[in-house]
Amino acid sequence: MKTKRGYKRGYPVALLVGLEDDRAVVWKVFSNVVKSEKALWLDGIRNDPKGMYNFYESIVNALRPTLKEGVRSLILASPARASHVQRFIDHIRGHHAWLVQGPNKAIFSEITGSAGTLSEVATLTRTPAFHRLICETTSEETENLVDMLEKSLNARNQDTVVLYSLEETEDLILGPRKPGRPKPEYLMLTDKYLSDSCEKNRIHRLLQIATNRNVKTRIVDAESTAGLRLTQLGGMVCFAQLE
């Protein structure tokens, strides 16, 4: 993956967090590039519990915007023999159980290496270990999403609405909110559905507006387990709840 900015950055895949001795750097991993999101500096020393609590909270807050968009695969990187990742995970388990429990949980993976600078990230993201970890982590995440989808498809109540066509999805997401109208929660499609479509601009517009309206969106690898299931359903699915 390239680390420089470019027009063809692709779609969001995961978050990479470089945990260093004195800082944490959050990177957004796209299918074609990696983009720096935020650098957070430790105010104080590592054996100060209050300082570390505030530091970890600042990292969680930096992750929230992308998590709300629907990307829930997180790769945590730290130098060899450092305990930064485990301590951060312990903080999450103790103070943010929503990140590690339930159907909307995030999937965390750990890799040894520094990700504090652009050159370090460029080196790390070129390794086979990183690419393998990205595939494993995103596969687990998207399988969780498909589980949610299957539950929606099999729901016996009338509160769940599942849409399969671009036109119906546009009508639901782009249309005005009215009483009794379903509230869209998730929009999922495969990368092949997007690449093969003659309506790419239309789909990109839908994805952007969906994100702006707090609808979680996810583009998944068509060859993954989740992608194969989505392909069976036409390549794109949107599910919503009646309020």
pLDDT mean by block of 10 residues, the chain; 243 residues: 56 96 96 94 90 97 94 96 95 96 89 96 96 92 84 72 94 87 92 94 95 93 90 93 80
Q: Report yes or no: 31 and 91 within 8 Å, Cβ to Cβ.
A: no
Specify the pLDDT at position 6: 38
Q: Please tell me the predicted confidence (pLDDT) of residue 1.
A: 55
The predicted pLDDT at position 161 comes to 87
Cβ proximity of 33 and 10 under 8 Å: yes
Question: What one-character DSSP code corresponds to residue 18?
Answer: E
pLDDT at 4: 44
Query: Does residue 183 contact residue 224 with C-beta atoms inside 8 Å?
Result: no
20 with 42: CB under 8 angstroms?
no
Instruction: Report the pLDDT value the prediction gives residue 158, as an integer from 0 to 100.
Output: 66
Across the beta sheet with 216-220, what order do the strands follow? Answer: 160-163, 236-241, 183-190, 216-220
Residue 72 backbone dihedrals phi, psi, to 5 degrees: -130, 25
Residue 169, pLDDT score:
96
Per-residue confidence (pLDDT) for residue 156, from 0 to 100: 59
Q: Mind listing the domains of the chain with CATH numbers? A: 12-139 (3.30.420.60), 155-241 (3.30.1330.30)
d(CA 35, CA 27): 6
Q: What is the pLDDT of residue 10?
A: 86
Q: How many helices (H) and strands (E) does the chain have?
A: 8, 9
